[in-house]
Amino acid sequence: MQRKLVSDGSLPAEVVDAAIISPGMIDLQVNGAIGHEVRDRPADVDAISTWLPNTGVSAWLPTIVTADEALYSRVFQAWSEIDVAVGAMPLGLHLEGPFLSAARKGAHQLRYIEAATDALFDSWLEQESIALVTLAPEREGGHRRIRHLVERGVVVSLGHTDATSEQFREGVDLGATKATHLFNAMSPVHHRDPGAMVAAMLDDRLSAGIIPDGVHAHPDMIRLAIRTKGVDRMIVVSDMMTATGLGPGTYALSGQSVRVDNISARLEDGTLAGSILTMDEAIRNLVEWGEVTPAQALHMATTVPARVLRDTTRGEIVPGRRADLTLWNDDLTVSETLIGGRRFPTREGA
């Protein structure tokens, strides 16, 4: 049974000794965690869902990085077997690729980007499990893809893009409402060619994701983005990968070897391959960097992602919303997460 928030002074209540209560956090970009990669095995998604409440996350988008066409059909088939009741709720798939810029591919495999077909995209339009798609608007067929996805109610996020500022704005004109990991895998800033980064920061129709681990972007760049767009249009994401919650070592991302140290995950050539950041760590980093208050940092991890997903059941503590809550200690560590009213105390060492 899913519980909702109500306002009734006559109901018995338990006093919870916590410094802060926030809406449950919503992570729009999770590639894997605790040794499990988001692919075509329901058990991997279930394991991540079970673990995420330890980090204050109550809902998330399992994120599929660029892969061969056969994998996507298996992913869609596996979606119906996911257990949505074990922990943080999967709200739908985030397909990050393969319709990306080869020049800004990051850790995505070029062979799958180059092999992506219109037939693959058209098969997506039949799927109800897709919540968000990251694509490059300047790629051939990009405008058509944005239009069709928007018509289907799928959130379009512009990312891994080599677009000019004009091409980027054309994508927003067509209905894109989000930018994927601002500053990363985007055409860089030049004073005569501002590129995708500047377009993303200046366009108020768009919310931008950031990975505040201090590795993907310098804290000063995060401060610049927040000052430019404001906390109402910024989204905290983790972009976490398989090694998150474990430790240094060698792991896999979409069949590629990834070396993980204490702060980052990288391919053999040094390319960043997701992060080992958790959402609670992201909140602590943002507050420590001094640009935002805890309430503002949490707003970017709760209310804004819910709004981008057009989810009117989450993201705020008001009567009628789901009882998805995160309880925080004074030091901004997570004490407990409630999901649909069900309590998930943080496990020691998780």
Binding-site residues: 96, 107, 160, 181, 184-185, 192, 216, 272-274
- Assess whether 232 carries a catalytic annotation: no
C-alpha to C-alpha distance for 210 and 212, rounded to whole angstroms: 6
Q: Which residues are annotated binding-site positions for substrate?
A: 107, 184-185, 192, 216, 272-274
Q: Which residues are annotated binding-site positions for Zn(2+)?
A: 96, 160, 181
Catalytic residue (one of 44, 213, 239, 280): 239
CA angle 240, 268, 190 (to 5 degrees): 75
C-alpha to C-alpha distance for 117 and 112, rounded to whole angstroms: 10
User: β-strand 207-210 against 178-179: which pairing, if any?
Assistant: parallel
Q: Are 131 and 92 in contact (CB under 8 A)?
A: yes
User: β-strand 265-267 against 256-260: which pairing, if any?
Assistant: antiparallel
C-alpha to C-alpha distance for 350 and 56, rounded to whole angstroms: 12
Q: Is 267 exposed, middle or buried (0-12, 13-18, 19+ CB in 10 A)?
A: middle
Q: Is 311 exposed, middle or buried (0-12, 13-18, 19+ CB in 10 A)?
A: middle
User: CA-CA-CA-CA torsion for 126, 256, 156, 308, nearest 10 degrees?
Assistant: 110
User: The dihedral of CA 154, 159, 160, 161: what is its sign?
Assistant: positive
**Which residues are tagged catalytic?**
239
